[in-house]
Structures are given as C-alpha cells and as structure tokens.
Amino acid sequence: MWSLLKLTLFVFISGIGGFSIVRAVSKCGAFPKIKNAVGKAKDQESYDVGTIVSYVCEYGYKNAITHALSEARDASQSQCQMNSNENPYWTEPSLDCKPVKCGDPGVPKNGRYLDFIFTFPHGVKFQCDKGYELVGRREIFCLPNGDWSSPVPDCELKQCPLPSDPQNGKVSYNLLTYKSVINYHCDKGYGLVGPSERVCLEDGMWSGEEPSCV
C-alpha cells in the first residue's frame, strides 16, 4: 500500500482573547512504487500537494497499457492531491511495465528447444537430435531492444574421422556422416581379419575395430 502522510502545520496569531488557527498544511508520504518502473523524483519523507512524479519503465520493459499520444504523458504520472476530506493521496499512474518480447526465434532443423522464455531477460536453449551436432550458440538471450543476442544455431550431421586403408587392403565409402557405412577389402592373396564394414555412430566414431589384412 502506498505510504500516505498527513502533516498539519498550525500557525497561531496572538490577539485579543488568545490565539487563533490560520491554516493547516497537509502533505503526501512516499510516492507509489511501480513494479519494473522508476519514479523520476527525489526520495524524501513527504511531498507537497500538487507534486507530480513521472514514471518510466525500466530498461528491457515496456508499458503494456496503450494510451493516445496526448494522454500518454499524464497517464504515466502520479500527483499528490487532496480528497474531499482534506486527506492527501497519490493518484494512480496507468502504467504496467511488462518485459520486452522477442518473439519465437524458430527451431533449427533436426533440433529442438530445451528451455525457452521469449521475453527479456530470458532466453532459449537448443539441443540437436541424435547424430547431429550443434553449430553456433547453444543458448541465446532476449535483449532489451526486442532482438535475439545471436542467430538460431544449425544442427549438422556428425561426421566420423577419415578412415585409413588397412595394410594390403582398401577401404571404400561414399559419405562419412552419421549412419554412413564404410567397407573393407583386402588385396589378392590376403584375408580380412575383423569386420568387413563399419558404421558411423551418433557420437562421431566408427563402430567396431579397424580390421587388418593378413
């Protein structure tokens, strides 16, 4: 609840028959605190009636209440006023500061979100499907201006190391990416010891052991 303070100043004037009250002065207490907003006024214990405090949303936040241009300035202000009972109070500013939205950045092909909140100061974490590796930033953040801190990353097929020919043999292949198969062949007069084919696994390594030709 907003802090209200009524300070009464009695001014006495000496005259026949004693003293008489001339006037009473009332003041407002601390001005309203608005979530995610800043009041442009000096902090003090009390404020004179008629004092106006203007508010602005904090960096990365935006007023969610729409006003006509002519009303926008007054709507974001609070004024110390006096009610019919001569009690001071602050008027309520029409201000609702919400986090800036960045919008859905999109999901990479062959990937997905792990965590996601599309508003400042949060972000999105990405993960690639099995057999794919992430190229780019694993996590991006929503900036105060509504942009994302980095582009959405790509998910590319994992690639296994270039295989070498066994001594007295050959290895043949078309691709070296996830699920690709390589085949081993021995020269005439030699026999293959080990697997004749190996598969590129999701961790980017070839299955089994490298064969030999003996």
Which tens digits make up the pLDDT trace of 43-59?
899 999 999 999 999 99
pLDDT beneath 70, residues of the chain: 1-25, 67-75
DSSP secondary-structure letter at 45? S
Question: Residue 91 is encoded by which pair of tokens?
Answer: 């008027």
Q: What is the pLDDT of residue 73?
A: 54
pTM assigned to the model: 0.71
Q: What is the pLDDT of residue 43?
A: 87
DSSP secondary-structure letter at 96? -
The CA distance from 129 to 187, in Å, is 39
Non-local (6+) Cβ contacts of 67 within 8 A are 75, 94
Question: Residue 34 is encoded by which pair of tokens?
Answer: 């608005």
Please enumerate, as own/partner, the contacts of 141-144 that have beta carbons within 8 Å and a separation of 24 or more.
142/99, 142/100, 142/101, 142/102, 142/117, 142/118, 143/60, 143/100, 143/102, 144/59, 144/60, 144/100, 144/120
Tell which residue, 163, 158, 162, has the closest CA to residue 203: 158
Non-local (6+) Cβ contacts of 72 within 8 A are none
CA dihedral sign of residues 99, 104, 108, 114: positive
Q: What is the pLDDT of residue 15?
A: 45
Name which CATH class applies to 111-157: mainly beta
DSSP secondary-structure letter at 14? E
Superfamily designation of domain 12-99: Complement Module, domain 1 (2.10.70.10)
Residue extent(s) of CATH 2.10.70.10 domains in the chain = 12-99, 111-157, 169-213
Domain 169-213 has CATH 3.30.70.3150: no
Q: Are 9 and 70 in contact (CB under 8 A)?
A: no
